[in-house]
Structure 1
Amino acid sequence: MRNSNHVIGLLNFLTFLLSIPILGGGIWLSTRANTTDCLRFLQWPIIIIGVAIMVISLAGFAGACYRNTFLMYVYLWAMFLIIVALLGFIIFAYVVTDKGSGRTVPNRAFSEYRLEDYSGWLKDRVASDSYWGKIRSCIRDSKVCSKMATVIGGVPESAESFYLRKLNPIQSGCCKPPTECGYVYMNETYWTTGVGVGTNTDCSRWNNDQQQLCYDCSSCKAGVLASVKKSWRKVSIINIIILIILLIVYVVACVAFRHNRRIDNDEPYGETRMEKAQPSRIHF
């Protein structure tokens, strides 16, 4: 019995440790939401799950130390619900970020993004006028475009040097016009009209005003979706690993708790225990 309690206590301590990277992933998404991705609602489910695992693990640890059956029941049922919630969240994250990726551009190191390459609930939410206004303000306030500026010898970098840069999705989609529009590079966020302007509607939305740039472009919305997809995929990989470990820990905890219940109820466990409880002189 003592060994079983030690096992349960150790498992609860392990799940407590596992809650730290989950909570850390949620905090990292929150930081990205405030500075880069600008989507401030996606990180909360993972933060709540991380905190819940931490609290439930402490309850299970206390139940193991004090042999409190009620706390152990609460721990096992709550952990089961948390595992289901984490699994559902991982599936949801992959579903809403499934489609869409950057398009390669000839003679450019960076990719460009099209809103029509994305679909589903997340795209509809980001593209909605009411929600996009908040995202646009967040991107502008983060100064992600002004931070692109690179000065070499007192002058902006050349067009050839800029075309070799690996821009992130928001820099590519929000801070410059699409390549097909034919604008002529002056610096990272200032472009002049070329010989002709492409048919892409974003071509007419581009503005050299540093408060506007391409913040109203569909390519900017696509860049946000691409950035969110990249962030969520990183966190989801960690969550999948943790989910597998949680499932193993949960199964072992259930077996250990069942063993404790047998001992507490003084149930026979094997032939040796039965013979000691009721010795008999006749053996068949």
Structure 2
Amino acid sequence: MGPEHVGRYVKIVRSPGVETIFKAFPKPPEGVTITRMGDGFGRLMAEYVLGYILSRELSILELSQQQQQKLWDKSCVTDRRMLSSLTLGILGVGSISTQIASLCKAAGMTVWGLSRSDKQPLPEFDRLATSSELGRFLAGCDYICNVLPSTGDTRDMLSGSVLQSCQLKRPVFINVGRGSIINEETLISALEKNWLGAAVLDVFSEEPLPPDSPLWSHPGVTVTPHMSGPSVAENIAVVFVENYKKYLNNEKLDHIVNWNRGY
């Protein structure tokens, strides 16, 4: 079915991501409502983020390697920190970010959120900042989690020398949003210059990640194959049915894509 037939035969399109939609349609197709998955992945992604935070704080990887070597050594956990002493900064304050914030705050962390513009206080966040405060925001974080979509405003948002403000705390960067927020060269440079302590990457500018990418073998990088929010059929069906009922009742649908904002 070509784009010219969409408005005739299709009334609702639900997509987990919007990049392919924007490539197919330079402008909103007439008679069709395009919707995102919304928070259908939120809890799964929140567990991914908290899981990797716990893994690092508990030195799970180091202890696993020691087991393979039959090595009894507690030195890797002498600097263990309590979650209540750590600050997580989340780039984005949408539905997924809110679920990440809720889970990590319940675990004891202080949680900050960064949005494009001023927002009313949200109970899941201890502090909200705007993009104009990016440098100061990053400087106060022990973990930085990107959940932002790929738009003209967010592409290369962390590229260049932006992460230099992190050099005092050397936070861990967790990316579950889109890879375009930082280019590969900048990320590796930030790790080599000790601006970042490590990186957990689930998304990349090019996917699958090419075999020759230096990210695969970098000691400070953990690579996962875009699986922080797996497509669980039950979750997708529940969200779609809720929106479909609203469509039948002529109610406004949830998670409508904003063509101007790019998500």
- Which TM-score band applies after superposition, normalised by the shorter structure? under 0.3
Pair member with larger Rg: 1
Compute the TM-score of the two structures, normalised by the length of structure 2: 0.23
Compute the TM-score of the two structures, normalised by the length of structure 1: 0.22
Structure with the bigger percentage of helix = 1
